[in-house]
Structure 1
């Protein structure tokens, strides 16, 4: 039967329910779909949808999140395509939506992430499984927030995602919300992902610089590079998936942040 849903961009999406041929255009949402128990239904994903790796190998790759193979996607004849406003390119999504049902998420906070898990659960007829994941995430992050307060974690941080030029995570982003939940204050006041120089970072009274493993793969040598320019700041490598993947990866992220907070005392 046909069912109608409103996505997080306010668009009506109609498709045969439950969908039997799904293409996911976002790595964190792909992992969520597999964790909701969808296996045969997922027929296509991006080259960055690497979790779970054994599922990745078996599926058709439809390009990258920002550069999709539109013709291949159309040829796969999906019942439903699931994407994200920030991760995917507007022109790609508009072109796909002319031929296929495309449901889009738009996520800025942990609450948004849990709402998305609920809504994707409804889209794919897996509401009980989605509800259980949200129960684990809500309990875990509530405990993390409480611990951060109890241990007086109050660090001024910058979170870098790119090098040459350096780019940082700004306000009004999912990562910023995760930082705040774990007792950190983002020293970058611009929104989204501004370019920043080390000289500018030095003027922010930043206590900690976090170097993400993605999208730029920061390594130990980059810690030394930054430490030489700003010797009074602690620099750490962090797992970008734990900070930025907003699907079922958040369940695993709880344990990661319990350990991470211990390094901030």
Structure 2
């Protein structure tokens, strides 16, 4: 029986690793792989000869980096058994994206797109080891400037952390340019905002449904809600008052935006 050794990176320059440039080295370091010294490599070789394992993997790992990836939810499945499972909650995922989302809040659509495009360019430049994100042309395919399957996954993971979105592993193949990536992220983030508004509206409706009519009347808000719900058009005769049940049905048929618009005196919105 033979023993087959799968070697990781060695620090000492050899014919096997001479082709690795600085970008390759940086990518492996970000992935949690560190170079073995000659002494460590020879020690692992001796240990492997004494091991019953037929195909050991001899590689140096940065466990602090692996734990960080586990906490962010980006640790490759192959390595998850080596470190404690990361506790990735909705709160922590949101916290990772807070910086970007705060920058996107309250700006014009054009500024929003520019911020997202710069985010994509900066993340891609970091993965490829470029000195400046300006080296990434918005309409140039990423695979033309050095992206492969490994760096594509790394870029996906980086953008996932920055945006708080679950992004597909085929992200840059489906959206091959920085501009296409920006448009995809914009639409996904905008869709999430709509979902949040709809969720908040549903919560408000459920809360209103639990309040007894007597309490609404005692608080002096029942008549306000009923007046907001009446479908009165400007310049038209007021619709005769309906029963309380009918009026409440009117309220239930209106969304929160309609009620607010009517409260502001714009019943046709």
Shared fold (TM-score greater than 0.5)?
no
When Rg is computed on C-alpha atoms for both structures, the one with the higher figure is 2
Greater helix share, structure number: 2
By percentage of residues, which structure has more strand? 1
TM superposition score normalised by structure 2 = 0.23
The TM-score with structure 1 as length reference comes to 0.23
